[in-house]
Amino acid sequence: MLDERTFNARLVTVLTSRERTFYWAKTRTKRAMKALKSPTSRETGLAITMVLILTAGVIVWDITHRDLPATGVESPVEATAADGWLVSLDNSSEGWRVVVIDLSNPRQEIELEHQELDRNSTFDTGWDMLTVANNTTAHVYNLAESQANPWVLNVSYPSEIHLAEWLGHGIVLLLVEEGVLRGITLDGEAVVVPAAPTPGAFISTMAVHDNRLALVYDDQPATVRLGRVGSASVSDQPLSFNATEEENALLESWGQVVDEVNATIVQLDLDYDWLVAAVNVTAVDRLVIVDLERGESWLISDAKFPAHDPAVGHGIVVWASQWNLNPSDPKADYLDHEIWYLDIENGAVNPEHLTDDNLEQRQPSVLENHFIWITTDADGNSMTTIHSRQIELETYSSRALQLAVISTIILTGIFSWQKMKETSPSESQREEE
């Protein structure tokens, strides 16, 4: 029907002779109707192909559209997720608020009555608990019992708040107030936490996993101090963030300053086995991973390109990268961040990316079944994106798949029957001869 060798001739016919075109269309339609009335194996074969192509199309569309925006969040500026809960700080039209979503039912947001918040408000989630702090009070909610009253504790301008575990005592709160770490139980009693390793050293950033702490103090900003809730001491964990001479020479040839001597850890995260840190060497922030059992560390992203917002969990490192960005000649395509991950537990060596577009993606986190990050478009509209780690077919595509299986079985049956019918007369003739 669509033979490209005769296409030009047909086009000329269509353009020059309406009568002939009409006649051609009429005979073709008649022929098609006749074929439909008494279909042969050719039509059935075509139908099977169509069913397979359409079904494949539906499924491919479904699995390539796995990201969904978190419901009820208007303009998230920060998001964190743990143990099946996603929490976003939302700069909504009704003011600053915290939006909670149960990831097992992501289309429904959970209403939370909380104190007045602003851009500096800090929050954390873990063990089905959520804590939210403004400058003067911290509220702690049990998300599994949303009707219960929250614990309310006094705080003093915390820059960070974390939920942590104190072995034998349960969940406690950790606060960084004017660079000093303070621990309190939910009843407001003091908890023993690491003291500053040198007098007067302030905390610049920290991370918590259960009762384990990773702290960065300004006396040695390129060293991680590892500690625990319930213990006052810390141990030093150095990081290997040095690039090769060639890589540093290339950065300098781009007009960048590489200052590895005065490197500073700007962000970090840890789980039971791994610690990840973004280390600023002036030119770029580099991504370093630490094997906590062995105490070894190494770079896991290209030392020449900026890597931000590292997070680790479930054996996977995830971060936001400006891969390929040359700061002296910034190409628009490389200015926005993409979400990259490395499946370190399964021995992956090469990072892979989850996004590849011109939108800005930041602040990723990794959960048992999901990746979460914040997506912002060119107009500054942001949303919390939920990306499923498992390929789960939506209802419409699993229905399409079921329907396709049934119709393919039926059509294949018809096809074989038609083939038999079409070939049998000639065979019987041959037998007669």
- Cα–Cα distance measured from residue 271 to residue 310, given in angstroms and rounded to the nearest whole number: 12
- Contact between 338 and Ca ion (CB under 5 A)? yes
Residue number, 259 or 357, with CB nearest to Ca ion: 357
Min CB(376)–Ca ion separation in Å = 9
Min CB(110)–Ca ion separation in Å = 29
Q: Which stretch binds Ca ion (CB under 5 A): 118-126, 227-235, 350-358, 391-399?
A: 350-358
Residue number, 126 or 364, with CB nearest to Ca ion: 364
Min CB(76)–Ca ion separation in Å = 16
Min CB(304)–Ca ion separation in Å = 19
Tokens 């075509």 appear where?
Answer: 46
Min CB(361)–Ca ion separation in Å = 5
By the 8 A CB rule, do 335 and 326 touch?
A: no
For residue 73, the SS3 value is: coil
Buried b (16+ CB within 10 A) or exposed e, 141-171: bbbeeeeeebbebebeebbbbbbbbbeeeeb
- Contact between 109 and Ca ion (CB under 5 A)? no
Residue number, 136 or 324, with CB nearest to Ca ion: 324
Residue number, 230 or 364, with CB nearest to Ca ion: 364
Residue number, 40 or 324, with CB nearest to Ca ion: 324
By the 8 A CB rule, do 141 and 153 touch?
A: no
CB atoms within 10 A of CB 69: 14
Residue number, 15 or 332, with CB nearest to Ca ion: 332
* Both structure tokens of 349: 């060596």
C-alpha angle with apex 286: 261 to 256, nearest 5 degrees? 65
- Cα–Cα distance measured from residue 55 to residue 403, given in angstroms and rounded to the nearest whole number: 9
Residue number, 297 or 382, with CB nearest to Ca ion: 382
**Cβ-proximal residue to Ca ion, closest one:** 336
Residue number, 37 or 331, with CB nearest to Ca ion: 331
- Contact between 160 and Ca ion (CB under 5 A)? no
Min CB(338)–Ca ion separation in Å = 5
Torsion region of 72: left, alpha or beta (phi above 0 gives left; psi -120 to 50 gives alpha): left
> Which ranges of 308-392 would DSSP assign to H, the alpha helix?
332-335
Min CB(357)–Ca ion separation in Å = 5
Q: Which stretch binds Ca ion (CB under 5 A): 66-74, 216-224, 255-263, 332-340?
A: 332-340
Q: Which of residues 209-228 bind Ca ion (CB under 5 A)?
A: none
Q: Which stretch binds Ca ion (CB under 5 A): 120-128, 204-212, 304-312, 354-362?
A: 354-362
- Cα–Cα distance measured from residue 341 to residue 62, given in angstroms and rounded to the nearest whole number: 22
How far, in Å, are 39, 182, 188, 205, 342 from residue 179 at the CA level? 80, 10, 20, 9, 32
By the 8 A CB rule, do 87 and 81 touch?
A: yes
Min CB(311)–Ca ion separation in Å = 17
Min CB(323)–Ca ion separation in Å = 10
Q: Which of 280, 307, 424 is nearest to 364 (CA)?
A: 307
Residue number, 30 or 353, with CB nearest to Ca ion: 353
CB atoms within 10 A of CB 413: 11
Q: Which of 226, 210, 229, 323 is nearest to 265 (CA)?
A: 226
Min CB(241)–Ca ion separation in Å = 25
By the 8 A CB rule, do 369 and 376 touch?
A: no
Min CB(354)–Ca ion separation in Å = 10
Site string for Ca ion, 286-325 (x = CB under 5 A): ----------------------------------------
Q: How many CA atoms lie within 13 A of 378 on its CB side?
A: 5
Q: Which of 232, 235, 167 is nearest to 193 (CA)?
A: 232
Residue number, 127 or 323, with CB nearest to Ca ion: 323
Residue number, 124 or 336, with CB nearest to Ca ion: 336
* Size of the residue set binding Ca ion (CB under 5 A): 6
Expressed in angstroms, the distance from the first to the final Cα of the chain is: 37
Q: Which of residues 356-375 bind Ca ion (CB under 5 A)?
A: 357, 359, 361
Among 336, 371, 374, 404, binds Ca ion (CB under 5 A): 336
Binding site for Ca ion (CB under 5 A): 336, 338, 355, 357, 359, 361
